[in-house]
Amino acid sequence: MRKLLLSLSTLVIICGSLLAFTSSKYPRLQLKEKAPLTKLKMKDVLNGKEYSLDKLKRKNGLLVIFSAHSCPCVSGTSTGFIEGWQGRYEEVYQAAKKNKYGMVLINSSEGDRDGEESLEKLRQQATENNYSMPYLIDTDSQLANAFGAKTTPDVFLLNKKMELVYVGSIDDNVDNSNKVKETYILDAISEGAKGIPITVPKTKNLGCSIKRVSIN
């Protein structure tokens, strides 16, 4: 138990925030609510093409993940203490594609656009990690604000009507993919494609806070 508490404390320090510490003035999208700003156009970091959520949606819906470059909960740590979820994005993308969902990564950290979340850094991240899915820049954190997204990563699964059916984390272990016991988003994708209720529709999101221009 003491080891677990120590690990959680370290995660708070490294990743910047747990769900309990990410209160925001932006209301969080609730289950069964329709996604906002689905026509908002955002540029892909690699090719500069503009995409909207409506354009990226597939037959069964769309998976939206608010992500980042610098967050250890996304990219991991050099010490190996946290593996990070980025290495699992491709598996999730393939599952989404197989089950006729679109998938998109959104970078809303506008407050650090001249630093670790710069276009150059994001291009490098997408290239080095062979992102198969679009990675879009959310100017002025418009989409993050509308969704009430709090952390990186923060996961929102939308059904064919663009209604929220799952929100939270990718799985239950940011430290080590080999120790994952609950594959939340993979299960939600599979169940949603079958047209059955999502068994676990909401989980806690763990990660760094989104670096908005203003947090007032």
Helices of type H across the chain: 2-15, 53-56, 72-75, 89-98, 119-128, 142-147, 184-194
| Contact by Cβ (8 Å): 92, 102 | no
CA distance 137 to 117: 10
pLDDT at 19 over 50: no
Q: How confident is the model at residue 18 (pLDDT cuts 50, 70, 90)?
A: very low
7 or 206, which is more confident: 206
Model confidence band, residue 23 (pLDDT cutoffs 50, 70, 90)? very low
Per-residue pLDDT of 100-135, as tens digits, reads 999 999 999 999 999 999 999 999 999 999 999 999
Residue 4 binned pLDDT confidence (cut-offs 50, 70, 90): very low
pLDDT grade for 47, boundaries at 50, 70 and 90: very high
The pLDDT of residue 78: 78
* Coil/strand/helix, residue 168: strand
DSSP-derived 3-state class of residue 68: coil
pTM of the entire structure?
Answer: 0.90
Hey, what domains does the chain have and what are their CATH numbers? 2-209 (3.40.30.10)
Q: Are 22 and 209 in contact (CB under 8 A)?
A: yes
pLDDT in tens, 61-109: 999 999 999 999 999 987 778 999 999 999 999 999 999 999 999 999 9
* CA neighbor of 40 nearest in space, from 136, 129, 109: 136
What integer best gives the mean pLDDT of the chain? 90
Q: Does 195 score more than 90 pLDDT? A: yes
Rounded Cα–Cα distance for residues 102 and 173 (Å):
24
Quote the pLDDT of residue 163. 98
Give the residue-averaged pLDDT of 138-147: 97
